[in-house]
């Protein structure tokens, strides 16, 4: 059906904060199987981190680059 969507990665940036889910990010996390990828632009070099958020519990996940 039209609502059979699967979210694998959900990402957004934090302009002035670290790459960690905010209370609002955690509250709005509706897809438990998705990776929530956050990019911090607070410093000169962007920082990218990924998390799973399940029932308000945040778990950082390793990101493979290569």
Nearest CA to 49 among 58, 33, 36, 34? 36
Of residues 3 and 1, the one with the higher pLDDT is 3
> Rounded to whole angstroms, how far apart are CA atoms 61 and 51?
5
* pLDDT tens sequence across 34-57: 999 999 999 999 999 999 999 999
The residue-averaged pLDDT of 17-27 equals: 94
Distances from the Cα of 62 to the Cα of 27, 36, 39, 48, 56, angstroms: 22, 12, 14, 10, 19
């Amino acid at each position: 059906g039209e609502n059979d969507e699967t979210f694998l990665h959900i990402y957004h940036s934090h302009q002035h904060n670290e790459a960690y889910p905010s209370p609002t990010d955690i509250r709005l996390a509706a897809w438990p199987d998705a990776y929530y990828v956050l990019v911090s632009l607070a410093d000169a070099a962007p920082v990218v981190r990924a998390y799973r958020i399940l029932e308000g519990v945040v778990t950082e996940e390793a990101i493979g680059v290569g």
